[in-house]
Amino acid sequence: MRRKKSKLKLFFISFFIILLFLLLGFIYITFYLSYTSHSDKLKVVTIPKNLNLREISHVLYENDIIRNETLFILATKILNLENKLYPGTYTFKNNLYNYDVLKLISSGEETSIIKVTIREGLTIKQIASLLKNKYNMDSSKFVNLATDEKYIKNTLKLNVNNLEGYLFPNTYIFYEKPDEDDLIRLMVSELKKIFTDSLVEVIHSKKLNIHKVLTMASIVEGEAKIDDERSIIAGVYYNRLKKGMLLEADPTVQYSISDGPRRLFYKDYKTISPYNTYLHPGLPPGPVNNPGKKSIMAAINPSKHSFLYFIADGTGKHIFSNSYQQHIFVKRKIRRNNK
């Protein structure tokens, strides 16, 4: 009898040890089994807004960040992070655990995580100033790289003289503080992702190219405050181009003056600059800021209408007109109402 009890006790101890090892193995595989997936220094992945856990895990799996979607989902649920995963553009190092990935995309307040947010419509110089003031980065180095033609053409493979318009606005998330080169590469890389082969075909079918699209998009970005008006504003400027009219776009004047952006005065519209569309016909030589995706898509797909003029109504919206006479009438009415 004692021998049977002893065997039974030994069986339960062995079973417990095996169970413990299985549990530890499961925890290790689920949380701490690293995944060597890519050889690059960093891999950039964007997690869009409004995705559920399964969709987020699929994005990570498709981009070769995690090895198994089911294990990642399980790890997320065990850590109770299912509703705490943040959308954004992330930079992933190679050889990460599921725990590392979850820590990155769920810990917006982690001190080890650096979030660099660049909003739409900023110029190279404004971005550089922001990076210096908020992130203590070298603004001079950033500007020098963004205007270094050799670096742009040989390293970034862009056939432009400077990166105005090519630095995609977004929130970029890093494990550690990036240098200026890292950030520029990522911003250009994110912009290139927008211009898929099919979208480039559409652009070419409209007798445009990416540089012209970005130039128009930057003007739209400088004018539009409301998303619904972006394509309408783009349509106005394309209508003016078709008629051979001057664009007379204020964002190009802001770019031409040395102390902009600020309130424009009559003398500013006479500023000598190839970017001043009050003096020179057609599009300016290049973008006048760095536009976001919505303005880029508006520049590719403008609204079809007959408007040639628009004016801000004081609420963030604009009033559009077909003729100069109508435009002057609206302008006078707005001025009377604002007295």
Nearest to 144 by CA among 159, 122, 124, 130: 124
Question: Left (φ > 0), alpha (ψ -120 to 50) or beta: where does 135 sit?
Answer: alpha
pLDDT exceeds cutoff 90 at 218: yes
Does residue 136 share a domain with residue 102? no
pLDDT computed for residue 25 by the predictor? 45
Q: Strands 171-174 and 88-92: what pairing?
A: parallel
Non-local (6+) Cβ contacts of 269 within 8 A are 253, 276, 278
Q: 336: buried, middle or exposed (CB in 10 Å: 19+, 13-18, 0-12)?
A: exposed
Shared-domain flag, residues 187 and 134: yes
pLDDT of residue 17: 54
Any bridge partners for residue 312, and if so which?
318
Q: pLDDT tens across 276-329, in order? A: 999 999 999 999 999 999 999 999 999 999 999 999 998 999 999 999 999 999
In the predicted model, is pLDDT for residue 135 greater than 80?
yes
1 band by pLDDT with thresholds 50, 70 and 90: low
Question: Does residue 221 register a pLDDT over 70?
Answer: yes
Tokens, residue 253: 């004047």
In the block, which residue shows the tokens 């004081």?
314
Domain span holding position 92: 28-106
CATH number at residue 69: 3.30.1490.480
**CA-based diameter of the chain, in Å?**
110
Q: 3-class SS at 54?
A: helix
pLDDT tens digits, residue range 136-151? 899 999 999 999 999 9
Boundary (domain end) residue, out of 143, 163, 194: 194
> Amino acid identity, residue 107?
S
In a domain, 215, yes or no: yes
CATH number of the domain encompassing residue 140: 3.30.1490
Point out the domain boundary residue: 106, 124, 159: 106
Is residue 249 one of the residues assigned to a domain? Answer: yes
State yes or no: pLDDT of 28 exceeds 60: no
Least confident of 100-109, 171-180, 201-210, 228-237: 100-109
Question: Is 212 within the bounds of a domain?
Answer: yes
Asked whether 274 and 285 are in contact (CB, 8 A), the reply is yes
Question: How many structural domains comprise the chain?
Answer: 3
Q: How many helices (H) and strands (E) does the chain have?
A: 14, 6
For residue 23, is it within any domain?
no
Can you give the pLDDT at residue 11?
Answer: 53
Mean confidence (pLDDT) of the chain: 87
- What is the structure's pLDDT at 279? 98
Which of 39, 71, 106 is at the close of a domain?
106
